[in-house]
Each structure stands twice: as structure tokens, then as C-alpha cells.
């Protein structure tokens, strides 16, 4: 099957699954990944790796508050220490550079760089200046996300993303950071995964701040997207040489049967997961099908809001992990119908690389103004262990190989994809799942903070060396 990413890059051979030193990663000779201008990097997020939550003037975030509530995070874990990156950043940059990774996507902790009155916190800002300057010294392309879910708690106390004023406070934050860090950032992303912030944070309560109301979710989403729209012109003014974009997580929905009801359910899944974000950004309107799912939840939209939200982007970041098989719920929505006998990760997510390809090609057909795309997150969690100083993460190697094949197929179908970031550089605090789920290509022993390069990272390094030699 020429159109099957799993067929293009075969799954693990028996030899590899036993930890063979054979190379199961290197792409075929005709892969777009060999292009020297295709950026290959890794990604992290501030709350997931930094720790030091009470140091140098950092204020509490909604995740500090949420993770301290018993039962909200697996095993009662918090991001108080995480990977201690705030103190170990220099060694982490050396590690990143030693792997030959060309790009690094990081986020700034809003509570670390401003006080409650909106004044700069110089110690926090200086941390990011040192980090970004060192990355530039190493020749690493920098993608900086302004908001990766760690809203200052004092803003949540005033309503958080349900309060329209938070969007304006975000624009102030973007103004400060782009003035302070201009010249050290190659690409700014305003938000990471507004779907998660809105739906998991305000719709079902799985994430901070833990509210659960569909009407809250749609209003929070509108204010998140408004914040993005208000920030983009500020970023353009203060740091004109950089790219400006946003990062959206996308989900593939497939129907459990050929029935019209199940096909409609799969469509509604993708409306809720994808069009809810992409339509406002690229069409200037919300998909009306969304309110078939959630009747009566239309957000309050003021004159000019949609024009602000739909300002042109330099790039669109795409995060993809799995697909969801759905059936009609018999009413106006859908229900999950997990498939049996499919490959899954430690998260329980199905490994389905073709979903990434299909969605990317579909977006090109749907949005005629689709900007250049970077895959800003893709990866998987596995229960990795260090054995004799090594980590043989064979499933991750196969996962990455097949998903990169899917990206290559989308490029060959005409989608403008310019780079790919592994999620994640290292194991870290996985939000409501704490430290049990390991997404990194570098293993972290949380008791000692020792980093151990996994086999997947070694193979990515090897490929990059080969590509550089051929350039």
C-alpha cells in the first residue's frame, strides 16, 4: 500500500524489537526529510521541565494550584521540581546541541517574568535571555511559545480565560517579552493547544483550572484566540525579523461504521477538535456544526473580534498524537468506540500515523490560505527503563519513523511542511499524569536528575549527521 505510512516505513523487525543495533530509523533516499532546510528539533514546555516554582520572584500558576489538589494529578505529583531545568539549563543545552538537533521549541513561564501588577520580573526575564542567547551561540533555531498553559493564578482569580480582560493582559505580556527577547527568537507561537486550555481546562475539568461547563469552554476559547490575535501585531512591531504563529493540537476522527449517523459523528469529532480552532484563525468564523454538539454555547463575540483573530499567520504549528474511533451517541454528538487489536502507547493512545497525513492533506484542501506548517509536537509515551546505562525505546523509534513517513507523504501531496519537533526532548511532568508517562528521547531519573540518552535520540543524531554530510 503506497499510501500507508506504516508500509513505507515498516514496523519493528524481530531483530530490532530485541534491541538489535540495526538502524530502523533512517528515511528512504527519496524522503523529503533529507532536505537540508527541513528543520528537525525537539520541544519542551516551561512548567513541565523548569521546576523552581518559588524562586527568583516567580508567581504561582494555575498548575501549581491544580496539582496541589488531592486527586487531580496522578500520584500527587507536581511541577515543583520537574527536571530542574531552571538550574540545569546549561547542561541541557549542551545535551541538545550534542544530539545535533537543529531546533528547540520552548515556552516562557508567564508567572516567572511579570509581577501581579504587570511589571517586569528581571530575574525571570534574564533566565530566558541567557537560555536563548546560548541556544543562538550553538546555532540552534529557536521557537518560543508564550503560553503553554501556566496562566498566572492571580489572573485566574479574576476569571482566567473566562474574563475578556485576560486577552489584553496577554497582549501586554507579549509586548514585554518581544521587546526583551527580540533578536534571539526565530519564531514566536502565541498559544500552545488552545483546545486543551479551553476544553480540558474549562469544559471537562481534566486540566487546570479544573472547571467543567461547555459554555465555559467556548467562551474561554474565544478569549484565548482573541489573545492570540491581539498579540500578533505586537510581536510584528517589536520583533519584525521573526516568524509569528500559533500551535494547534489536531485529532483524527474515524467512524465506527458506514452508517450516516456514525459518519456524521466522525465529522463532528473533527469539527470539535480541529475546525473549532482552525476556522476562526483561517476563515474568520466559528463552525456552526460546533453548536450542534453544544447547543446554546455560542460565545460572546464583539465587533472586530473575528478580524483580529484571523490576521495572517507566518506559520501554523501542528501537534498530533493519535486518532479516535467514534460512533453516534444517538443524540447530537459522538461517543468513543476504542478499537481492539491496535498498537497503543503507554497513554493508551492508538498509534495511527496515517491520521497525521490525512489531516494535513485535508487542511490544504479546506483552507486555501493555509500557512506553512511545522509539526511542533509528535511523539509517544512508553515505560522506559535504563538497563546497563542504555534505554532501548524500540516502540518510539518505530513510532517516529512511521510518523515522519506520514509527514513526507503529506509534503509530496503538496502540503508546505518545513520542520518537525520531537515531543519531547526529555521525560517530564506530564500534566494530570504526573511523572509516570515518559515522552522524552532522553530519560530523566527524577531522584537524581541524571539524563540518559535513549536509543531513539541516538538514531536521530545519526540521521542528522548523515544529512549534514550529504549537504
Establish whether 377 is a catalytic residue: yes
The H or E element containing residue 402 is: helix 394-412
In terms of phi and psi (left: phi > 0; alpha: psi -120 to 50; beta: otherwise), the region of 159 is left
CA distance 435 to 330: 38
DSSP H helical ranges for 76-213: 85-98, 110-113, 122-137, 153-156, 165-181, 194-195
CA distance 398 to 402: 6
Given 50, 102, 156, 377, the catalytic residue:
377
How would you classify the pairing of strands 187-192 and 243-255? parallel
Q: What is the DSSP string of 66-108?
A: HHTSTTSSGGG--SSSTT-HHHHHHHHHHHHHHTT--EEEEE-
CA distance 236 to 240: 5
DSSP annotation of 370? P
Sign of CA dihedral 288, 189, 433, 392: positive
Half-sphere exposure of 461 (CA within 13 A, CB side): 15
Q: Which residues of 7-25 are buried (b: 16+ CB within 10 A; e: fewer)?
A: ebbebbeeebeeeeeeebb
Phi, psi of 390 (to 5 degrees): -130, 155
Please answer whether residues 457 and 367 qualify as being in contact, where contact means their C-beta atoms are separated by less than 8 angstroms.
Answer: no
Please answer whether residues 104 and 143 qualify as being in contact, where contact means their C-beta atoms are separated by less than 8 angstroms.
Answer: yes
Please answer whether residues 319 and 245 qualify as being in contact, where contact means their C-beta atoms are separated by less than 8 angstroms.
Answer: no
Q: Is 450 helix (H, G, I), strand (E, B) or coil?
A: strand
Which residues are the active-site residues?
Answer: 377
Amino acid at each position: 500500500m503506497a499510501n500507508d505510512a506504516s508500509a513505507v516505513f515498516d514496523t519493528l523487525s524481530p531483530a530490532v524489537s530485541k534491541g538489535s543495533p540495526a538502524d530502523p530509523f533512517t528515511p528512504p533516499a527519496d524522503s523529503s526529510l533529507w532536505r537540508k532546510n527541513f528543520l528537525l528539533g525537539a520541544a519542551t514546555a516551561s512548567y513541565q521541565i523548569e521546576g523552581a516554582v518559588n524562586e527568583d520572584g516567580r508567581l504561582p500558576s494555575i498548575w501549581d494550584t491544580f496539582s496541589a489538589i488531592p486527586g487531580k494529578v496522578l500520584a500527587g505529583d507536581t511541577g515543583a521540581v520537574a527536571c530542574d531545568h531552571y538550574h540545569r539549563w546549561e547542561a541541557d543545552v549542551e545535551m541538545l546541541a550534542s544530539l545535533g538537533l537543529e531546533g528547540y521549541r520552548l515556552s516562557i513561564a508567564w508567572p516567572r517574568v511579570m509581577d501581579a501588577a504587570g511589571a517586569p520580573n528581571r530575574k525571570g526575564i534574564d533566565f530566558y535571555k541567557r537560555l536563548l542567547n546560548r541556544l543562538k551561540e550553538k546555532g540552534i533555531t529557536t521557537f518560543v511559545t508564550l503560553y503553554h498553559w501556566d496562566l498566572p493564578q492571580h489572573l485566574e482569580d479574576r476569571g482566567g480565560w473566562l474574563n475578556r480582560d485576560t486577552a489584553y493582559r496577554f497582549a501586554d505580556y507579549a509586548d514585554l517579552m518581544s521587546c526583551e527577547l527580540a533578536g534571539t527568537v526565530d519564531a514566536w507561537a502565541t498559544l500552545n493547544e488552545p483546545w486543551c486550555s479551553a476544553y480540558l481546562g474549562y469544559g471537562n475539568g481534566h486540566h487546570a483550572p479544573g472547571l467543567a461547563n461547555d459554555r465555559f469552554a467556548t467562551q474561554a476559547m474565544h478569549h484565548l484566540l482573541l489573545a492570540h490575535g491581539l498579540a500578533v501585531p505586537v510581536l510584528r512591531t517589536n520583533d519584525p525579523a521573526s516568524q509569528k504563529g500559533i500551535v494547534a493540537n489536531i485529532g483524527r476522527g474515524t467512524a465506527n461504521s458506514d452508517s450516516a449517523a456514525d459518519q456524521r459523528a466522525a465529522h463532528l469529532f473533527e469539527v470539535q477538535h480541529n475546525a473549532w480552532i482552525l476556522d476562526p484563525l483561517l476563515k474568520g468564523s466559528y463552525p456552526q456544526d460546533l453548536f450542534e454538539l453544544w447547543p446554546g454555547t455560542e460565545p460572546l463575540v464583539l465587533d472586530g473580534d473575528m478580524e483580529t483573530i484571523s490576521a495572517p499567520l507566518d506559520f501554523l504549528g501542528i501537534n498530533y498524537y493519535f486518532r479516535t474511533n467514534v460512533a453516534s451517541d444517538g443524540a447530537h454528538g459522538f461517543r468513543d468506540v476504542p478499537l481492539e487489536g491496535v498498537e497503543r502507547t503507554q497513554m493508551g493512545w492508538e498509534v495511527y500515523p496515517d491520521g497525521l497525513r490525512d489531516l494535513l492533506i485535508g487542511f490544504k484542501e479546506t483552507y486555501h490560505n493555509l500557512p506553512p506548517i511545522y509539526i511542533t509536537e509528535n511523539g509517544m509515551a512508553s515505560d522506559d527503563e535504563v538497563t546497563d546505562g542504555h534505554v532501548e525505546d524500540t516502540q518510539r523509534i518505530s513510532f517516529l519513523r512511521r510518523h515522519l513517513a506520514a509527514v513526507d507523504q503529506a509534503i509530496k501531496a503538496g502540503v508546505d511542511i518545513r520542520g518537525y519537533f520531537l515531543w519531547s526532548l526529555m521525560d517530564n511532568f506530564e500534566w494530570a499524569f504526573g511523572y509516570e508517562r515518559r515522552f522524552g528521547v532522553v530519560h530523566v531519573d527524577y531522584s537524581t536528575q541524571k539524563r540518559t540518552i535513549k536509543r531513539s535520540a541516538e538514531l536521530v543524531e545519526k540521521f542528522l549527521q548523515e544529512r549534514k554530510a550529504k549537504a
